[in-house]
Amino acid sequence: MRLAACAVLVVLAAGCGGGDDPRSLIAANKTAVVRGSLTPNVHLFAEPIVARVEVILNRTKADPGSVRVKTDFAPYEPVSEPRTTRTDIGDFTLLRYSVTLNCLSERCIPRTASGEATVGQRPGLPPFLPGKQRDENVKYQFEPAIVSLDAEPEDTTLGRVVWSPLRSLSRINWDDSSVVGQGFPFVAEVAPPPEPSYRVPPALLGLGLLLLAAALLALPVWLVWRRRARRAPPRADERLALSPLERALALVEWASRRPSVDDRREALEALAFELDADARAAQARAQGWSPPMPELEEMTELVTSIRETDAPAT
């Protein structure tokens, strides 16, 4: 790649008259050398072309990052982003700008001729009607590309690229009797096309597809619901009824695990109320109001002793 860039620089410098120093790529009084090309410069309609601009710049006189290229290829339009490459060789830099262009608009179709026919016809074919014959090609001359240096207070022009003429050829073979005859070979009508016919009415087909989609969606929903129903715990129809004493004992067990003194005292008082005249009612009240607070071990022992002896059956 480096050898190829060197060869390009040498060829360009030789065409510019290299100055007193034979090793110089640019004449001593020049900052840059500019050239451009269109490839190909003759093409069939709708075929892409590539526009290239090459700039050899002396970096001791200008910054390559400040180089700007202004082009106008109308009616052609770029089909991709412009590409830029840079190659540094000694004090010089080779900048290459390239872009692929294309034209699909009517402006790029060979125009209708207004005078005598400018296309060749095989002998014996009917003559063209007035204004119906077509040119075989259309010629474009693009505006010159301006290569400038972005500087203050105004840009400095480094050079101009004068493009060679570009020709777009028709894809119609005017010597082919199967496509060339009297008048323009393409015919257009403004009458609406016939109504289409269907094997299945579109509305019925759409409804069927909608029902099929709903069925496909219902299947996984049903499978998920069935699996969750199997994993759900069985629900008890009725809860076991507890006696008042059992509820009081359960309340004491719950309060014994609470840090609140009031909860423990109230639970023991409720147990004493259920025990009524039992001797352990006084024991429950004594624990409930013992300072500083009822202890967990004592509350647990009281509940256990009541259940082991004469707690009412549930």
What CATH number corresponds to the domain at position 72? Answer: 2.60.40.10
For residue 65, the 8-state DSSP code is G
pLDDT at residue number 251: 86
Q: Are residues 160 and 284 in the same domain?
A: no
pLDDT at residue number 292: 82
> Does the pLDDT of residue 6 top 80, yes or no?
no
Q: Are residues 54 and 143 in the same domain?
A: yes
> Does the pLDDT of residue 84 top 80, yes or no?
yes
> Does the pLDDT of residue 148 top 60, yes or no?
yes
Higher pLDDT, 160 or 175: 160
Query: Which of 2-6, 224-228, 230-234, 299-303 bottoms out in mean pLDDT, i.e. has the lowest?
Result: 2-6
Local confidence band at 214 (pLDDT 50, 70, 90 cut-offs) = very high
Q: Are residues 269 and 147 in the same domain?
A: no
Local confidence band at 86 (pLDDT 50, 70, 90 cut-offs) = very high
Best-predicted range by mean pLDDT (38-47, 146-155, 278-287): 38-47
Taking phi first (over 0 means left), then psi (-120 to 50 degrees means alpha), and beta for anything else, what does residue 59 get? alpha
Best-predicted range by mean pLDDT (184-188, 203-207, 266-270, 279-283): 203-207
Best-predicted range by mean pLDDT (77-91, 111-125, 170-184, 258-272): 77-91
**pTM for the complete prediction?**
0.47
| Domain assignment of residue 97, yes or no | yes
28-35: long-range pairs with CB below 8 Å, 24+: 30/58, 31/57, 31/58, 31/61, 31/62, 31/149, 31/158, 32/56, 32/57, 32/58, 32/62, 32/67, 32/147, 32/158, 32/159, 33/159, 34/147, 34/158, 34/159, 34/160, 34/161, 35/161
State pLDDT tens for residues 165-211: 999 888 776 656 555 554 445 555 667 778 888 899 999 999 999 99
* H/E stretch holding 53: strand 49-58
pLDDT at residue number 106: 79
pLDDT at residue number 116: 46
Local confidence band at 253 (pLDDT 50, 70, 90 cut-offs) = confident
| Domain assignment of residue 187, yes or no | no
Question: What is the mean predicted confidence (pLDDT) over 249-255?
Answer: 86
Question: What is the mean predicted confidence (pLDDT) over 260-274?
Answer: 84
| Domain assignment of residue 154, yes or no | yes
- Closest Cα partner for 35 from 129, 163, 135? 163
Query: Which of 7-16, 163-172, 260-269, 284-293 bottoms out in mean pLDDT, i.e. has the lowest?
Result: 7-16
Q: Are residues 287 and 150 in the same domain?
A: no
Pairing outcome for strands 42-44 and 166-169? parallel
Query: Which of 123-132, 162-171, 238-247 bottoms out in mean pLDDT, i.e. has the lowest?
Result: 123-132
For the chain, the domain total comes to 2
Q: Are residues 42 and 158 in the same domain?
A: yes
pLDDT at residue number 15: 41
Q: Are residues 31 and 137 in the same domain?
A: yes
pLDDT at residue number 121: 52
Query: Which of 22-26, 221-225, 284-288, 297-301 bottoms out in mean pLDDT, i.e. has the lowest?
Result: 22-26
Q: Are residues 145 and 33 in the same domain?
A: yes
- What's the rounded Cα separation, in Å, for the pair 266 and 258? 12
| Domain assignment of residue 137, yes or no | yes
| Domain assignment of residue 190, yes or no | no
Per the structure, the complete domain to which residue 15 belongs is given by 2-107+133-169
> Does the pLDDT of residue 55 top 80, yes or no?
yes
Q: Are residues 51 and 161 in the same domain?
A: yes
| Domain assignment of residue 210, yes or no | no
**123, 147, 169 — which closes off a domain?**
169
Q: How many CB atoms lie within 10 A of CB 180?
A: 21
Q: Are residues 285 and 141 in the same domain?
A: no
Q: Are residues 165 and 248 in the same domain?
A: no
| Domain assignment of residue 118, yes or no | no
When the pLDDT of each residue in the chain is averaged and rounded to a whole number, the result is 78
**115, 143, 169 — which closes off a domain?**
169
The CA-CA-CA angle for residues 266, 238, 274, to 5°, reads: 25
| Domain assignment of residue 248, yes or no | yes
pLDDT at residue number 36: 95
